[in-house]
Structure formats: C-alpha cells, structure tokens
Amino acid sequence: MIKMVVTDIDGTIYSPACGISSDVKYCIKNLVNNGIYVAIATGRTYSSAKYIADMIGIKCPLICYQGGLVNSYEGEILSVKYLNPDIAREIVSDCRKRKIHLNVYIEDKLYVEDDNQYIKDYIGDKGIDYFLVNSFDELDFSKLNKLLAINYDTKFIDDFIKELSEKYPQIYVVKSFDYFCEIANKEATKGNAIKFLANHLGFSEKEVLAIGDQNNDIEMVKTAGIGVAMANGTEEIKAAADYITDSVKNDGFVKAINKFVWGALNV
C-alpha cells in the first residue's frame, strides 16, 4: 500500500505553458485528505517549493536542492547536506574562466555575479528573488546548498557534467534540465531524501510512489517502491522507471495516481 507520494515539480505537475491543472491540484489534495503523505521533491529553493505547495493548497514536506535540504512546510530543517566549500570554489573559478553562468545557493538564497539573461530566464515565475554580488569570493561557502551552471548549448552541459563527475567523484553532478548542470553534496539526491523522509515518518521507502521527468529524478524513481516517469521525460528516466505515464500537459500525474493508489485500493 502506498503511504507517500513524492512528486517532482517542473515537467511533472507543472509546466510554464499550463501551470498546475485543476485536476492535478484536486488529485493531490485528495491524497492528503485520505491520509496519504505528499512530498514535493525539486532542485528549487525551499521558498520556491513552498510557493508551489501554496499554489496547490497543501502543507507538505519539501525536498529541495535535489535532496540537499529537507524542510517541513513551515521551514523547519529536517535534513541538510552542504556542498564542500573547497571544491565549490574550484568549480566557481573554472566557470569564471570559461564564462559559464553560475547560480550559487547559500542558506536558501540565490546569488549571481552577472545580472544577465540567464538569470532572468531562470527566475521566470519561480517566485524567488536573487542577489547580485561583485564576486562570489566575498560569500561564506560553509553552508552552500548547491551550484547550478547554466548554458544553452546542451552538448556543452552534457560534456561539463561528464567532466565534473570524473574530476570530482566525491560530489553529485546531474542534469535537471537540458541547460542545467546541478552540483551538490554526494548524498544530496532525491533518492536519499525519500529514504530519510520515509524513515522520519515511520514507514519504508518501498511504500512510496515517486514520479518525475528528468535525470535528477532517476535516483528517487529507483528508490521508491513504485517509480513513475512522465511521457515527456528523458529516455534515461523512462528506462529506470517501473511505469511510464502520460505527459504533464495530459495530467500524467493524475493517471499514475489513479492506477497505483486508487486502483490498488479497488482491487
């Protein structure tokens, strides 16, 4: 029996074109009203994840920064994994030399050195602010949530992820979108966050259904008892999932819940 549903945001329950549909909102509220935990798992900040929870109309645990931060809805830190400051500064220096745009997240605040189109496109409608600094060198990296490298050349992102993974095997490097290279603590995965949250709430990760669309969701769909990939997802997550549902624009989330949660109860 499924006791918790963990969902990604972008490309899973939300799209820029459609937002979050009324059917998805109703489905999630129905889960909560029937005693099934719902958690949001995202690469976004806590404030941005909470913004989505408020949009849906629920109060739920929030897995942020791919699993680097697990917060209660109210903001209590349940688990946190920081990125190694020394490695982070090496990566920052390398990105500067190669003119790669970088977002730096410290204690749930977003910092940039350049107020350019990359950051404006990234912010979009995420419901968060950002802070412009003269140099990342002036920041305290001791509580660094993650780094995010952004480049619109998708081959570059793939190559950069491969390069960083080989150079720094002690960190977690993953693509969360075609243009995004996420850099975080080795343990900061959505899969590890599911294990932690399930244990925290008193049940097994095998009683969890997880659903996502990108490579940063692979760990959680493999960890959960039932792992679901969106039809609009990457080929890698589809290969890792137990089931492929419909696309985000066709409310694939709702269809997966109907099949594996309500359908299982009616057997």
Please indicate, yes or no, whether residues 93 and 174 belong to a single structural domain of this protein. yes
Cα→Cα distances 245→11, 64, 188, 202, Å: 12, 24, 26, 28
- 181 and 97 in one domain? yes
Q: Is the same domain home to 164 and 233?
A: no
Residue 267: pLDDT above 50?
A: no
pLDDT top residue among 123 and 245: 245
Nearest residue to 187 via CA among 103, 52, 63, 101: 63
C-alpha–C-alpha distance, residues 222 and 148, integer Å: 24
Q: What is the pLDDT of residues 203-237, one digit of tens each?
A: 999 999 999 999 999 999 999 999 999 999 999 99
Residues 59, 231: Cα–Cα separation, whole Å: 28
CATH number of the domain to which 196 belongs: 3.40.50.1000
Spatial CB neighbours of 157, under 8 Å, sequence gap ≥ 6: 149, 151, 175, 178, 179, 180, 181
Total-model pTM: 0.94
Q: Residues 149, 195: one domain?
A: no
156 and 229 share one domain = no
Domain stop point among 185, 217, 249: 185
Residue 162 has pLDDT above 70, yes or no: yes
Tell me the mean pLDDT in the region 67-79.
Answer: 97
Q: What is the pLDDT of residue 213?
A: 98
pLDDT bin (cut points 50, 70, 90) of residue 188 is very high
CATH of the domain at 147: 3.30.1240.10
Same domain assignment for residues 110 and 176: yes
The answer on 199 and 161 residing in a single domain is: no
Is 173:179 a contact under the CB 8 Å cutoff? no
Domain boundary among 158, 185, 212: 185
Q: What is the residue range of 222's domain?
A: 4-80+188-265
CB burial of 162-181 (b: ≥16 within 10 Å; e: otherwise) equals eebeeebeebbbbbbbebbb
Please give the structure tokens belonging to residue 206: 């095998």
Q: Are strands 69-71 and 77-80 parallel, antiparallel or unpaired?
A: antiparallel
pLDDT higher than 80, residue 127: no
Residue 41 and residue 113 in one domain: no
Q: Is the pLDDT of residue 264 over 70?
A: no
Last residue of a domain, one of 185, 206, 232: 185
Same domain, 140 and 178: yes
Q: What is the pLDDT of residue 265?
A: 55
> How many domains in the chain?
2
Say if residue 43 is in the same domain as residue 168: no
Q: Give 262's pLDDT tier (boundaries 50, 70, 90).
A: confident
